[in-house]
Amino acid sequence: MTPAPQAEGRWRMLAILCLGVAGVLATWFSATAILPELVTLWDLDAARTSWLTNAVQLGFVVGAIGASLVNLPDIVPMPRLMAVSAVLAAASNAALLVVGPDGAILARFVTGVALAGVYPPAMKLMATWFVRGRGLALGLLIGALTLGSSMPHLVRALAEGIDWRLVVWVTSGLALAAALVFASMVHEGPSPFARATFDPRQSLSVFTNRPLFLANLGYFGHMWELYALWAWILAFAAAAEAGMQPFPFGSASMLSFVVVASGAVGCLLGGWLSDRIGRCLTCAGMMLISGGCAALIGFFFDGPPLVLALIALLWGITVIGDSAQFSAAVTELAEGAFVGTALALQMGLGFGLTVLAIWALPHFAEWIGGWRWAFLFLVPGPLIGAAAMLALRRLPEATRLAQGAR
């Protein structure tokens, strides 16, 4: 197979896009990071507490599926869509400063809708710059998303004892700065996908071929685990912290930051491996390791602290390390004119599963009497996902992945 030409300036554009994505994605878990304060301030019950996190997921689902139904990521210029969406994310995130609990849930929903206008288009735009090395490039982009998602936990950990509103101000400011980056510095690469016209049938037809179905099934298994971990690692860590001294990384908030942020390393590793040994093997391997961490971490709930820290760190690295590769697979398996639609629909359905997982996990924890063994609930997801990717690897269409690397 003849190597594809490399686009001049691709690494600069990758750095700019990563900077913008990291900024706007800081709004994703801004409310989750300050949940203890909001619970006290608003006297929240368990249902409202869960929905402060889940509303973002649900908003993303509605935004992503809605965008795919009208082929929005394939019709509207991507930098414009991303810039407007980032402004909306900043505004809805800042609304946490002035609304009550019901208004906060609505604001989080709007934040999720806005993020659906950034995340899938950013991945499609990056693919126009990288034909070769696309797995690593998208891995770097998801690494930036991971760092942005971890930022609220870091701000809260460093600002212990300072007003919780600082977390909201910082994350809203980062999203607004991202909007400026998207509007002034981002443009499509020299290998654009064909322009689409409005065709609602494409939102379903992208799943009618078996290779694409298996890639999406792998993604769905991955998503069952990922956001439930990110959403509830602080609750798990806080419960473990009560009976363990010294606690890994100093506090529950700092452990939560390390777990989420370490995924950036996993994204780089996953991208590098995927372009060399194949998308399918990389995804299956990452999911088997992360599923193993979900099964094992409860054994070290009460220590030793070093072992708990190592398992949590390994889980944080592997739980997100394969994420970009499912999207890379879609850009290689879907019809070119509807890659944006395929990505948006993949993510919309995947994030729909996260709503269920995030809602169900604390109920499972309550049912079994605490957080120690709660993450066992997530294990089936990565196992099913790994099986789907190994099945995809056996199909002849898998040669279209990663310039022939399965």
Domains and CATH numbers, the chain: 10-187+200-404 (1.20.1250.20)
Distance between alpha carbon 363 and the CA centroid of its chain, in Å?
23
State the average pLDDT over residues 228-242.
Answer: 89
pLDDT value at position 84?
93
State the average pLDDT over residues 86-105.
Answer: 92
pLDDT, tens only, 125-177: 887 887 777 667 877 888 888 888 888 888 887 776 677 888 899 999 999 99
CB-based contact 379:273 (threshold 8 Å): no
pLDDT, tens only, 250-302: 888 888 888 988 888 898 888 888 878 888 889 999 999 999 999 999 999 98
pLDDT of residue 72 exceeding 80, the answer is no
State the average pLDDT over residues 373-395.
Answer: 94
pLDDT of residue 196 exceeding 50, the answer is no
pLDDT of residue 63 exceeding 70, the answer is yes
Residues recorded for the chain? 406
pLDDT value at position 204?
62
State the average pLDDT over residues 94-112.
Answer: 91
Distance between alpha carbon 36 and the CA centroid of its chain, in Å?
23
Return mean pLDDT, the chain.
84
DSSP state of 93: H
pLDDT band at 1; cut points 50, 70, 90: very low
pLDDT value at position 405?
60
pLDDT, tens only, 339-383: 666 766 777 788 888 889 988 998 899 899 999 999 999 999 999
Task: Please give the residue that has the higher pLDDT: either 178 or 246.
Answer: 178
| Least confident span in 15-29, 181-195, 328-342 | 328-342
Residue 258: name the closest of 142, 149, 150, 139 by CA: 150
CB-based contact 6:172 (threshold 8 Å): no
Does this model's pTM top 0.85? My answer is no
Give percent above pLDDT 70 in the chain: 87
User: Who's near 396: CB < 8 A, 6+ residues apart?
Assistant: none
> What whole-number distance in Å separates Cα of residue 245 and Cα of residue 251?
10
pLDDT value at position 264?
85
State the average pLDDT over residues 378-392.
Answer: 94
